A and B are shown apart, each in its own frame.
Chain A
Amino acid sequence: MTTKRTFRVWRGSGEGELVHYEVEVNEGEVVLDVLHRLQATQVPDLAVRWNCKAGKCGSCSVEINGRPRLSCMTRMSTFEPEEPITITPMRTFPVIRDLVCDVSFNYQKAREIPSFTPDPGTEPGDFRMAQADVERSQEFRKCIECFLCQNVCHVIRDHEENKEHFSGPRYLIRVTELEMHPEDTADRRTISQEEFGLGYCNITKCCTEVCPEHIKITDNGLIPLKERVADRKYDPLVWLGSKIGLRKGADTPIAPNTRKPSSAPEQ
């Protein structure tokens, strides 16, 4: 069955506007199919980012009727028959053109995280991990870096000035994953709070709501990380221990040379 549907699509750069189109829609199609038809039949210069059409590459993130979604996984049948469909680029990132955003912010935040740091005395092949420990971090490895969680998070979405101080849910769960690794020796708890801005998160769970991989970002990542930070920074006994020099191990700083000097006074 073929119908005509009204699409309102963002065109242009950040100063762009919503443009109305009437497009054909066939049964069983997803939003990305319709954008491709629009490109093929009416606006050959429409910029859309996509790759796999299977919800696995994380390229096609946009906002559909105000909700951050993967356009290749959003079925047309989920809308009311007469409902116009509004498609805008992700609001948190600068627009390059039409629906394509510059997501470098995320790569910047990724580089600042100290990587996996095993005991230098161990040789390759020495590790033996229990299945339970593998499973725990495996959940976070499902991330396809669609950046929908980064986009929906109100900390930076509604307050652009916080971008400098906040790494966003995707990178905070990367920290959690490393902190939960039995063979890792770094201690990222202090930088989670002071450099990556974990304290800005108020656990309102929008990241979990939009994650197409259904990662329990808040319950299994952010809250456990907040609890670990509380162990390190807000536990009176630990605090006393560090005052009288009982605490072993040092806080790991952020990865070197990953910030412009202006925002990293320690360099």
Chain B
Amino acid sequence: MTSTLPPPENPNATRAHISQRTFRTDRWWLGPLLTALGLAVFLVYATARVFQQDHYWVAEHHYLTPFYSPCLAAQCEPGSAIFGTLPWEFPWFIPYAIVSMPFLLLFRFTCYYYRKAYYRSIWQAPTACAVREPHARYTGESRFPMLGQNLHRYFFYAAFLIALINTYDAFAALLFGGENGGVGIGVGNLILFTNVVLLWCYTLSCHSCRHVFGGRLKSFGSNPVRYWMWTQISRINPWHMTFAWVTLGTLMLTDLYVALVASGVITDLRIFN
């Protein structure tokens, strides 16, 4: 076969030798800075709350914070453990929601959006577009351990199941949180529901979700149902970054509300029962 090699690059030509890191004149460092701050706020708050092992359950209104769902430790307050508890008391360094917290963390850690966010703002590869990065070598996600990012879809499956549990929690609070364990609505219910709806938006707009529901097909024409599902997911997928940030906020707010009510700092405003 004849060679199809293109004419070689001129061996004497080199790239422009420019020592400046960038000629950009806009505030390119602002985005990464705010991202790093935002992630730090969430991490500090979530760590503090997950290890606090207190103020996570409002028995009267059946409110359970998402950070403790499902509660599995033997010392979980009565009623808060929907699957029952394990026979052991958890020491301070094991979160009560030991089956969900690691998966949710890995789900977000391997999320295509959060990857972009921390690669840019924390790892600085690159800090901003057309700004030289500070690393001497770069292999991206082509080597171990970064190859592990390819496992994102499995964490998506786990997160999907956990979102079902959160949905159950929100409904349980509505159905059993009123007077004498009947139906009741308070501000807490609205918060729990908003949080769950947004968690679903985040989970379903995931790129792996888009892939498994239809993206992996070679032909849409012969798979109309999966094409339809792919189309719906493709409509929310461009908002994935927005949902990623909004859910960090709603998770913290939901947890804070439950914590404040559980510790008696505020009382839940009831709308019905």
Contact = CB atoms under 8 A, between A and B. Distances in A.
Interface in B138-171: 138-143, 146-147, 150-153
Interface of A: 10, 13-16, 63, 65-68, 83, 86, 88-89, 91-96, 102, 104-105, 107-108, 111, 128-130, 132-133, 136, 152, 154-155, 157-160, 162, 165, 179-182, 184, 193, 197, 199-206, 209-210, 219, 223-224, 226-231, 233-234, 255-260
B130 interface: yes
A226 B210 CA distance: 13
A240 B7 CA distance: 43
Nearest to A95: B16
Contacts of B135: 158
B4 A202 contact: no
A210 B5 contact: no
B129 A209 contact: yes
Given A66-B25, A66-B131, A157-B132, 12 more contacts: A67-B129, A94-B15, A102-B13, A132-B221, A154-B133, A158-B135, A184-B218, A210-B129, A219-B237, A224-B211, A227-B216, A260-B5
A-B pairs with the 8 shortest C-beta distances? A130-B221, A199-B142, A66-B23, A14-B14, A66-B24, A94-B13, A182-B219, A206-B129
Contact of A197 (B129, B142, B220, B221): B142
A230 B150 contact: yes
A203 B141 CA distance: 10
B154 to A, nearest CB: 9
B23 A86 contact: yes
Dominant SS among interface residues on chain A: mixed
A255 B1 CA distance: 11
Contact of B6 (A68, A111, A201, A227): A111
A130 B17 contact: no
A178 B151 CA distance: 24
Dominant SS among interface residues on chain B: loop
Contact of B207 (A155, A227, A257): A227
Contact of B138 (A136, A162, A234): A162
Interface stretch (B91-99, B118-126, B260-268): B118-126
Contacts of A96: 10, 13
B227 interface: yes
B16 to A, nearest CB: 5
Contact of A154 (B3, B10, B23, B138): B138
Contacts of B23: 63, 65-66, 86, 88
B70 interface: no
A133 B215 CA distance: 11
A107 B6 contact: yes
Contacts of B143: 199
8 contacts: A88-B18, A95-B13, A104-B7, A180-B218, A182-B221, A203-B112, A209-B129, A234-B151
Contacts of B150: 226, 229-230, 233-234
A58 B4 CA distance: 24
Nearest to B20: A66
A200 B129 contact: no
A105 B219 contact: no
A94 B7 CA distance: 14
B69 interface: no
Contacts of B2: 257
B116 A129 contact: no
Contact of A133 (B14, B133, B220): B220
A136 B129 CA distance: 27
B57 to A, nearest CB: 37
Nearest to A79: B25
Nearest to A92: B15
A54 B189 CA distance: 56
B119 A204 contact: yes
B150 to A, nearest CB: 4
